[in-house]
Amino acid sequence: MIWKPTKNSINNSNIGKLMQQHKFTSYTSLWEWSVKNKEDFWEETIKALNIIQHKKYTEILNVDTGVENAKWLYKATLNIVDSCFQNSDDANVLVYQQSNKSIRKVTQKELKELVNKIANSFKFLDVTQGDTIAINLPMTLECVAIYLAALKAGVKVATIVDSFSSEEIKIRLNLTKPKVVFTQDFIVRAGKEYPLYDKNVAANATKIVVVNNKNTSLYKRDEDVFWSDFLSENTVFESIKQSAQETITILFSSGTTGAPKAIPWNATTAIKAASDGFYHQNIQKKDVVCWPTNLGWMMGPWLIFTTLINKATIGLFYDAPLSKEFGAFVQNAKVTMLGVIPSIVKHWKNTACMETFNWNAIKCFSSTGEVSNPTDMGYLMQLAANKPIIEYCGGTEIGGGYVTSTVVQNNYASTFSAKALGTDFLILDDRNKQTTKGEVFIIPPIMGLSTELLNKNHHDIYYKDTPKYKEVLRRHGDELEVLENGYFKILGRVDDAMNLGGIKVSAIQIEEVLNSLNFIEECAAIAVSEKEGGPSKLVVFYVAKNQVIKNEQDRIVQAQQLIKREINPLFKVADLVKIEALPRTASNKVMRRKLRDSY
């Protein structure tokens, strides 16, 4: 499936306008300028996004301590939330729909007043500038407002995915030690209620503010507070200005070890996210941007910054995006940019649940989180009368994408057309030679790129023992292929991380849990996709203990129950494969690539 831009659509796009300004006739020429003249590119981007600074930077980029420690907007002071409220007071900045209820619209004035009420309420909980709170909520109006309020008050936010088990929540609380956790009593999905407050209690949260509780008789610890008792009526709050390098958010990403990486975001990460949305998803004023996600994944903060800084409207559907009700929301909210993960699209295709809706308001889709396949993506394009899909791949450590698509190039289903503006990378083979199919290495500096981890050695994770090159290279972990037409295709991960249903998780984390089963001596978890691409399935190879296992299906059930309880109920064990011995390197490392190839 192919979509081709018209001359008019190119000229009216955000990228097209930048090309005209610099008299470039191709995206490639614009991209080359953006990486060769990074300071000029990002300076123009700061102006295009109208990023408000209390004190302007003395240098757009400072690398006095090396590119590993690049400082963007050097010596600037600002509060990124100020840049999120530059629309007119009566403009709709958020539209949402709760289960079985009608669509609600929120103006900038209404959202700002709610944000200010929350910011004024923190003092009641002894939360002040420099402190940390945690948010463990689905994407709701309250979730967005709490997040913006904390940032406005100079409070750091640890964001935790609402589907995680209590044990996974506990790990993240122990890493960040928030004074307060914001959560709600339960989540409603497809008519079922899933407890959330109870999971945070089990995770030993110090203090909890319980948001949106429908049942006021809900058991609540003495130290916890109901939302209605927490919220101030004061609608005026002056934002706290701080360094552009000051941490605003702490996100978590699984890598090659069991414990998640705690990754700080600062204001420049938010700018990277907003710039990607501006250029690549082509988000413009009055657009409606809907991306089913969670604040605990990078696409949650990305959605907030990208949409509000670009004066568009955030679209939130409170239930799962798998039913006709979601399709009706997309239609009735007049969504113009719809974000997806490939697993969702596969469900839509298999059930044909979205085919009755008019999605012609959609200007483009965007897909991230998993490897896609052209059959499913071609189907998605047709749901909106052949609209392009911006394939988008990056990472929490980047705050956005490094490889993407654009609306100024031909769009082929399931492929990336370009390197992201202001971003460069190399593809190297096993001998560290440039190739058309191999491992991705990022070339720093890039606006928003992480320079520290709270719980690990940043240099060791990203830079130690990377290949020698004329420029410093940064490890990323994706495997990429350059196609004959110069476009790119993601093949998966080269390290021990995997994406399951758009959720990044460490193989070692899964293995540590499954090794406690009484029939497993040791195991290796891998993510496997179909040959044509698409969402990954979790497959586990294991060496059995010396005992007789009568029913193979019982083993899968046991493994599934354990993963659901200890890590995430959304993960599904697709297959268990008994093996005599796990293949290992001379240094005793499990050869997961060999297992993937054999499967």
Task: Put the strands of the sheet holding 92-97 in their side by side order.
Answer: 104-107, 92-97, 313-317, 288-290, 337-340, 364-367, 389-395, 400-404, 418-419
Contact indicator for 512, 562 with CB cutoff of 8 Å: no
Q: How far apart are CA 313 and CA 106, in angstroms?
A: 9
Contact indicator for 320, 367 with CB cutoff of 8 Å: no
Flag whether pLDDT at 286 surpasses 90. yes
Lowest-confidence pick of 54-63, 106-115, 240-249, 498-507 = 498-507
**pTM for the structure as a whole:** 0.89
Residue with tokens 């390290």: 495
Chain segment 496-548, per-residue pLDDT in tens: 677 776 677 778 778 888 988 988 888 889 888 776 666 778 899 999 886 65
Residue 94 token pair: 């958020």
Q: Where are the domains of the chain?
A: 499-598
- Looking at per-residue pLDDT, the higher value among 574 and 172 belongs to 172
Flag whether pLDDT at 62 surpasses 70. yes
Q: How far apart are CA 445 and CA 336, in angstroms?
A: 32
Contact indicator for 245, 159 with CB cutoff of 8 Å: no
Q: How far apart are CA 29 and CA 37, in angstroms?
A: 12
pLDDT at position 90 is 98
What are the Cα distances from residue 139, in Å, to 144, 152, 170, 284, 337?
A: 7, 19, 20, 22, 17
Contact indicator for 226, 216 with CB cutoff of 8 Å: yes
Flag whether pLDDT at 257 surpasses 70. no
* 3-state secondary structure at position 232: coil
Mapping DSSP onto H, E and C, the string for 238-288 reads: CCCCEECCCCCEEEEECCCCCCCEEEEECHHHHHHHHHHHHHCCCCCCCCE
Mean pLDDT of the chain: 92
Beta bridge partners of 104: 96
State the sign of the Cα–Cα–Cα–Cα dihedral 588, 469, 405, 279. Answer: positive
Give strand ranges (E) for 330-457.
337-340, 364-367, 389-395, 400-404, 411-412, 418-419, 425-428, 437-442
Can you tell me the mean pLDDT for 71-89?
98
Chain segment 351-367, per-residue pLDDT in tens: 999 999 999 999 999 99
Residue 3 token pair: 């979509």
DSSP label of 420: P
Chain segment 402-453, per-residue pLDDT in tens: 999 999 999 999 999 999 999 999 999 989 999 999 999 999 999 999 999 9
Residue 581 token pair: 């011995």
Q: How far apart are CA 263 and CA 251, in angstroms?
A: 5
pLDDT at position 587 is 54
Lowest-confidence pick of 230-239, 394-403, 495-504 = 495-504
pLDDT at position 477 is 87
Chain segment 150-169, per-residue pLDDT in tens: 999 999 999 999 989 999 99
- Looking at per-residue pLDDT, the higher value among 599 and 169 belongs to 169
Pairing of strands 437-442, 425-428: antiparallel
Residue 573 token pair: 């064990």
DSSP H or E stretch at residue 528: strand 520-528
Chain segment 555-588, per-residue pLDDT in tens: 888 888 888 888 888 788 888 998 888 887 655 6
Q: How far apart are CA 350 and CA 176, in angstroms?
A: 41
Can you tell me the mean pLDDT for 331-339?
98
Q: Comparing C-alpha atoms, which of 312, 308, 296 is closest to residue 81?
A: 308
Flag whether pLDDT at 344 surpasses 90. yes
pLDDT at position 364 is 98
Give the CATH number of domain 499-598.
3.30.300.30
Cβ neighbours of residue 529 under 8 Å, at least 6 residues apart?
A: 371, 492, 535, 536, 537
Residue 311 token pair: 């004066």
Flag whether pLDDT at 594 surpasses 90. no
pLDDT band for position 24 (50/70/90)?
A: very high
Flag whether pLDDT at 65 surpasses 80. yes
Amino acid at 104: R
Q: How far apart are CA 65 and CA 509, in angstroms?
A: 34
Q: Comparing C-alpha atoms, which of 283, 268, 291, 326 is closest to residue 100?
A: 326
Can you tell me the mean pLDDT for 126-135?
98
Can you tell me the mean pLDDT for 32-45?
98
